[in-house]
Amino acid sequence: MIAAAVAMIVIGNMAATGRIGPNPGVGIRTKDTRRSEKAWQAAHVAAKPFVQFGAVVMIACGCVVFALSSEPAALYGIALVGVVLMAIAMLLGTVAANRAACAV
């Protein structure tokens, strides 16, 4: 969870600053975000707070999972909460990103 969250932060920041442009591999890839470099960057700037929030939640849940490694039942619940909150943040970020890309 922690490694995935760190990767999300790094990739999100690189896309928001223009170091990663439209591509088939990473980033928010919708029809509107891939329309141009400006749309791509605007989308990732708009999504950045959501991506960072989701990543921070996953990092926190990952740390709690490490701390409670002796309580297997709690681990699944905590991991599930982290993944669900991250997924909600990513969906909200994608909506914001697509709106920003359309506005460009």
Mean pLDDT of 59-85: 86
Structure-token pair, residue 64: 């709690």
pTM summary value: 0.86
**Would residue 18 be called left, alpha or beta, if left means φ above 0 and alpha means ψ between -120 and 50 degrees?**
left
Whether pLDDT at 66 is above 90:
no
Per-residue model confidence (pLDDT) at position 14: 95
Per-residue model confidence (pLDDT) at position 68: 81
To the nearest 10°, the Cα dihedral for 59, 57, 97, 25? 30
Contacts for 8 with CB less than 8 Å, ≥ 6 apart = 51, 54, 55, 58
